[in-house]
Structure 1
Amino acid sequence: MKQNLEVTNLTIPGRKKPYVMAHRGNNVLCPENTMAAFIQSFQDGADILETDLQLSKDDQFICIHDGSIDRTTDGTGLVSDFTAKELKQFSAFYGRDDFKSERIPFLTELAAILPPNVALALELKSDRFLEDETCQRLIDLLTKTGIRDRTFVISFSKERVLCLHRLAPDISAGLITMSGFSPDPEMQIIGPFWPLVFLNPFYIRQVRKNKQIACPLDPSPDKRLWIYEKMKVDAVLTDNPQKTCKLIRKYDQ
């Protein structure tokens, strides 16, 4: 049985690596970044849930990838042009009629259902996270909802995650990168585009030397899963945690 956990800088105690990180929940079986996708990923056995954060017009933290609602809902416009209440009028069904009742989740709603044995990776999508005030409000929310000790932040923007990490050094910062042949030493978590770790066989070795966590950016990892296990990466990102969890269990037999 999985243990309750804390995300403490470089490890997730009580868990067997590689950890399975659900990319926007299970976005193969459900529309991405919906409560249905999140709950499905918990049922699948994911160790970490990854989701994205934008801000509404009234400064609420919203779990949605894009800056607009056009792609994933039946509405149009920027997330920041709507209040949180107004965003709830749109279906987040992503064109899938059997999920028309799904709505864009708020971080507070996700925090309320996050199991105690699942960690949370928040991708900071907005430049609002360059503001100390915004970062502090997020820190306060994580503290109030009781999930701060198992949450870390990631982004393609080093400046966003460092802004928050400087205010809360106990919340680990991760950088997602599409280029570069060595990990950034300022980060606790490294998310390199997956070909980088194959082009440079010393990449993961350097991550180890730096005492960092490695999670390649590879939402469809299953064909390369056995290689990641040999590399001893810390976590694998996946669009379909159900399938990936089954494969990892198979390899462990």
Structure 2
Amino acid sequence: MKKSRLLAFVLLSFALLSFAWVPATVSAHEHLLSPDRILTVAHRGASGYAPEHTLASYKLAKKMNADYLELDLQMTKDGHLIVMHDETVDRTTNGTGWVKDLTLAEIKQLDAGTWFNEANPDRQNAHYIGQRVLTLDEVLRYFGKRENYYIETKKPDLYPQMEEKLLAALKKHHLLGKHTRKGQVIIQSFSEDSLLKLQKLAPRLPKVQLLDRNQMTSITDDQLDFIKTYAVGVGPNFRALTPENVQQVRSHGLLLHPYTVNSEADMTRLLQYGVTGLFTNFPDVFNRVKASL
């Protein structure tokens, strides 16, 4: 009888320990937005090593263990969201023209990789030749729920319904809703109006207000209080940051993810200031710097 009770106790203890272990594993994912977690955001992918916003760049960022893939959105003439920083295709493809004036079929004919080899003779890779412009749908379908996404609505005033199309894509790929992991998708924008619109449409989706250098250097407590009503953080130009304004932002309970930081010296300095992550073209370098401190 005593042996049976002892066996029952051991089995119960093991079950409780096993149950306790599972939430600990889950919580590591759920705390992406913790102010104590320093995030590595791969700026346009690992764009220091591969052509920005291409599959090659995103796959390399994943290999380098970036916490987030950054996606900039533009919209084609026929209403498709594509992943591209500029409003024109001139800089990062062999084509010319405004994205809004080109159809997706026309953009899909363009080479989005050769330019990188020409601009970076020390980092040439034959695999980059012929890389294609990606749609938002293609990126989300390829990486799915295995990755985290930091998505920017670029120039939303040029693109009616951009926010609605973005949310529809997230829903399609099961990245929006009460059963999704908090912080798996973050939306950022320089457009306050775009973020406020998204706050109405998807209040549970974390948002970050981007700030240029002048906005950051002149930020007030009242402005930070207002930002906190619709956003979880700010993303300023890193050159505007000082120990004082970093602490000012942090004192309002906001995350702080500056852009775009590529030197080890700047990374170290900003970590010492107290930023909670940053955008970089070299996610492997920032991960190394984080590990060294």
Compute the TM-score of the two structures, normalised by the length of structure 2.
0.75
> Deviations along 1:140-172, whole A, 9 cap, x unmatched?
210111223421211222112222222111112
CA distance in 2, matches of 1:229, 1:115: 30
Confirm whether residue 22 of structure 1 aligns to residue 42 of structure 2.
Answer: yes
CA distance in 2, matches of 1:40, 1:21: 13
CA distance in 2, matches of 1:230, 1:243: 16
- Matched residue SS, 2:289: helix
- Matched residue SS, 1:114: helix
* 1:1-253 matched pairs, under 5 angstroms: 5-6=29-30, 12=32, 17-97=37-117, 98=126, 99-114=128-143, 116=145, 118-128=147-157, 131=160, 133-148=161-176, 149=180, 150-178=184-212, 179-180=214-215, 181-182=218-219, 184-185=224-225, 186=227, 187-198=231-242, 201-251=243-293
Q: Percent identity?
A: 25
How many angstroms does 1:13 deviate by?
A: 5.9
CA distance in 1, matches of 2:41, 2:151: 12
Question: What is the RMSD of the two structures over their aligned residues, measured on CA atoms?
Answer: 2.4
Count of residues in correspondence between the two structures: 243
- Matched residue SS, 1:140: helix
Flag the structure with more relative contact order, 1 or 2, with Cα contacts below 8 A and sequence separation at least 6. 1
Between Structure 1 and Structure 2, which shows a larger proportion of helix residues? 2
Task: Report the more deviating stretch, 114-123 or 185-194.
Answer: 114-123
- Matched residue SS, 1:122: strand
CA distance in 2, matches of 1:216, 1:189: 10
How many angstroms does 1:127 deviate by?
A: 2.5
Structure 1 residue runs of 5 or longer lacking an equivalent are none
- What is the letter of the counterpart of residue 197 of structure 1? L
How many angstroms does 1:40 deviate by?
A: 0.5
CA distance in 2, matches of 1:193, 1:46: 20
- Matched residue SS, 2:235: strand
Structure possessing the higher radius of gyration over alpha carbons: 2
How many angstroms does 1:101 deviate by?
A: 1.9
Structure 2 residue runs of 5 or longer lacking an equivalent are 1-24, 118-125
How many angstroms does 1:189 deviate by?
A: 1.7
CA distance in 2, matches of 1:48, 1:129: 26
